[in-house]
Amino acid sequence: MAGYFEIVLPIFILIGGAFAVFLLGRLFAFSNRVMSVLTAAVLAGTLVVLILHYQNIPHIINRPDVFYGLDDPGGIIYRPNAVGVFILIIGVIIGLLITLYSGEYLSRDPRYLVYYPLILLTLAGLLGMFTSNNLFNLFLLTELTTITASALVAFRFKSKPSIRAGFKYLIMSSLGTMTMMLGIYFVYRSTGDMQLVAPLATPDDLTRIGAACFLLGFSLKAGVVPLHTWVPDVYGHAPSAVSGLLAAVLSKSMLFIMPVVCLRLGMTRGELGTYLMIFANLNMLVGSVRMLRQQQLGRFLSFSTIAQTGYLMFGLGMGFYYGLEQAYGVGLFLFMIIAVMKCLAFLSAGMYEYYFGTQDIELLRGAGRQMPLAAFTFSIALAGLAGIPLLAGFNGKWLIFSTAILSGDVFALVCLAVFVLSTVIGLGGYLPMIVKQYQPAPGSEHLTPAGGQPIEVSTWMVVPTGLLSLMVIVIGVYPGPWVNLVSQVMQWMMVTL
């Protein structure tokens, strides 16, 4: 192995940090909060290195010799790219906030020693997926995220629904990775190699079948309708902090790894764009409609996640189908704001679950009077997801609308009509949910704390949710710098796609 070791330094920090945090916790019997701080320190170090990578992207994309690994037949190369670094920075920030939040959220679970290493290993696998240029190595790293994320989903092993959710995630994600393995077989049979440094010079039917296998595998892991059936059960029964990480970062990241692999194996941009736009309509409609009838917060947010995935697919699809650079930027911007808002929604729901012991929507009527902070952050998240002006979600939806109009094509306008319809239906779910927090119903007296005083939420939960709420507001009120940031990443992306 040779090259620039700093390229894989973030992976080594995460994997080494996972083992170090676990061993220190076992040797010194650290408390949950100490483990949370140690894990946050590991993530902070990873974030610093990723930011340095981001600053070096203009140098890296012009230097094909900048990599780490073995550039020989059968070798493995790690090489960062603009989109991957951007998404991973967001992912590590989300992971850092979730880790701090878990300093209180996980305080009642004696198995916290394995929780934090699993988060670090999940992010390490995701980081490797974005930097590896070897298909078999990509498969192994995908399996790493599958196994660790499954363990996180089933973390509450004494709860039968959690165990079932963990097994369902493991089985469905494994089906996705096995489909990718089938794709590797077709590619290797055609080319005799598993390297994917650049687009194939002469793709054939076998490589295109391989591309279709990867498309199907990534679609399953992203929760694309009709391969979405695992999403409500998994996000609805996993710990809220885990659901926040999966829904905000892990699943949607697959939509950005998918194009790199599929396009290099011979799929055309028009084909990929058509696929994304058609199935975006299904995601938008299924997610928004099914969301309306849910009686449990986790499932409500799960179907909302399916709809948000559709919005992201619509933006990316327009970029590939019409070759619109603006649409690529819309996709990156949507990923950023959805990650923030979706994480905030799940963490806010987790506060209700932690203090009231339930996620039943009817039983939580009037909960906002007892926990005004949780009600405020949850309202900010839902209002942002609904697209209320002066919040981040509105800017994202406006960019989708303006880009579809810019295309001037009937196909995009039909998808835009579905998008608008989904947004209107979504309002029928988000706005009543906000109101229910402040409207007590008969039989909700059990939510009243001793002495009738509002519940004082732990600082460990206040800080992460407060920062996420601030980000939703700041991006909504002052989107200019964030749009410029995404535009810069988009320009670098166009060089490498």
| Model confidence pLDDT, tens digit, residues 167-208 | 999 999 999 999 999 999 999 898 887 887 667 767 888 999
132 or 219: which leads in pLDDT: 219
Whether 230 and 375 map to the same domain: the answer is no
Given a cut of 60, whether residue 448 has pLDDT beyond it is no
> What would you measure as the largest C-alpha separation in the chain, in angstroms?
74
Tokens at residue 116, please? 């934090």
Contacts of 95 (CB under 8 A, 6+ apart): 43, 119, 123, 245, 249
Lowest-confidence range among 79-93, 330-344, 436-450?
436-450
Tokens at residue 212, please? 């279709």
The residue from 232, 252, 267 where one domain ends is 267
First to last CA, the chain: 26
Tokens at residue 16, please? 């080494």
**Span 23-45, average pLDDT:** 94
Given a cut of 60, whether residue 381 has pLDDT beyond it is yes
Q: CA-CA distance, 497 to 493, in Å (whole number)?
A: 6
Given a cut of 90, whether residue 216 has pLDDT beyond it is yes
**Span 161-165, average pLDDT:** 88
Q: Where are the alpha helices (DSSP H) in 135-237?
A: 135-153, 160-191, 205-222, 230-237
**Exposure of 345 by Cβ count < 10 A (0-12 exposed, 13-18 middle, 19+ buried)?**
buried
DSSP E strands in 11-122: the ranges are 68-69, 77-78
Whether 232 and 274 map to the same domain: the answer is no
**Span 385-391, average pLDDT:** 93
Q: CA-CA distance, 135 to 126, in Å (whole number)?
A: 14
Q: CA-CA distance, 428 to 291, in Å (whole number)?
A: 9
Domain residues for 483?
270-497
Give me the sign of the Cα torsion angle 61, 181, 177, 283.
positive
Whether 467 and 494 map to the same domain: the answer is yes
Q: CA-CA distance, 236 to 156, in Å (whole number)?
A: 13
Q: CA-CA distance, 338 to 472, in Å (whole number)?
A: 10
Position 232 confidence tier, pLDDT thresholds 50, 70, 90: very high
Position 339 confidence tier, pLDDT thresholds 50, 70, 90: very high
Q: Are 309 and 283 in contact (CB under 8 A)?
A: yes
Specify the number of domains making up the chain.
Answer: 2
Compute the residue count for the chain. Answer: 497
Q: Tell me the per-residue pLDDT of 361-377, one tens digit each, with 9 for 90 and over.
A: 888 888 888 889 999 99
Whether 230 and 306 map to the same domain: the answer is no
Q: Identify the residue whose tokens are 């240029």.
A: 133
**Span 89-97, average pLDDT:** 95
Q: What is the pLDDT of residue 450?
A: 44
Position 245 confidence tier, pLDDT thresholds 50, 70, 90: very high
Whether 201 and 277 map to the same domain: the answer is no
Lowest-confidence range among 203-217, 249-263, 443-457, 461-475?
443-457
Q: What is the pLDDT of residue 443?
A: 56
Mean of per-residue pLDDT scores for the chain: 89
Q: Are 398 and 491 in contact (CB under 8 A)?
A: no
Whether 50 and 143 map to the same domain: the answer is yes
CB count within 10 Å of CB 89 equals 17
Q: CA-CA distance, 196 to 204, in Å (whole number)?
A: 15
Whether 177 and 314 map to the same domain: the answer is no
Q: Are 291 and 304 in contact (CB under 8 A)?
A: yes
H or E element in which residue 2 lies: strand 2-3
Given a cut of 70, whether residue 2 has pLDDT beyond it is no
Q: What is the pLDDT of residue 180?
A: 93
Rounded to 10 degrees, the C-alpha dihedral 437/441/443/448 comes to: 40
Q: What is the pLDDT of residue 493?
A: 66
Whether 58 and 74 map to the same domain: the answer is yes
**Span 110-115, average pLDDT:** 90
> In this structure, what DSSP letter does residue 73 have?
T
Q: What is the pLDDT of residue 162?
A: 86
- Compute the radius of gyration of the chain from its Cα atoms: 22
Whether 170 and 285 map to the same domain: the answer is no
Q: CA-CA distance, 39 to 21, in Å (whole number)?
A: 7
**Span 88-116, average pLDDT:** 93
Whether 261 and 283 map to the same domain: the answer is no
The residue from 267, 287, 315 where one domain ends is 267
Whether 275 and 287 map to the same domain: the answer is yes
Given a cut of 50, whether residue 379 has pLDDT beyond it is yes
Tokens at residue 89, please? 């920075």
List of long-range contacts for 154-162, beta carbons under 8 Å, 24+ apart:
154/238, 155/109, 155/111, 155/115, 155/118, 155/238, 155/239, 155/242, 156/109, 156/239, 157/111, 159/237, 161/237, 162/237, 162/238
Position 442 confidence tier, pLDDT thresholds 50, 70, 90: low
Q: Report helix angle 251-264 to 82-105, nearest 10.
A: 160
Residues β-bridged to residue 132: 78
Position 451 confidence tier, pLDDT thresholds 50, 70, 90: very low
3 in the Ramachandran plot: left (φ > 0), alpha (ψ -120 to 50) or beta?
left
Q: Identify the residue whose tokens are 């650079």.
A: 325
Percent of the chain with pLDDT over 90: 65
> In this structure, what DSSP letter does residue 438 have?
T
Q: Identify the residue whose tokens are 């019997």.
A: 29
Whether 183 and 58 map to the same domain: the answer is yes
The residue from 233, 250, 267 where one domain ends is 267
Q: CA-CA distance, 143 to 166, in Å (whole number)?
A: 14
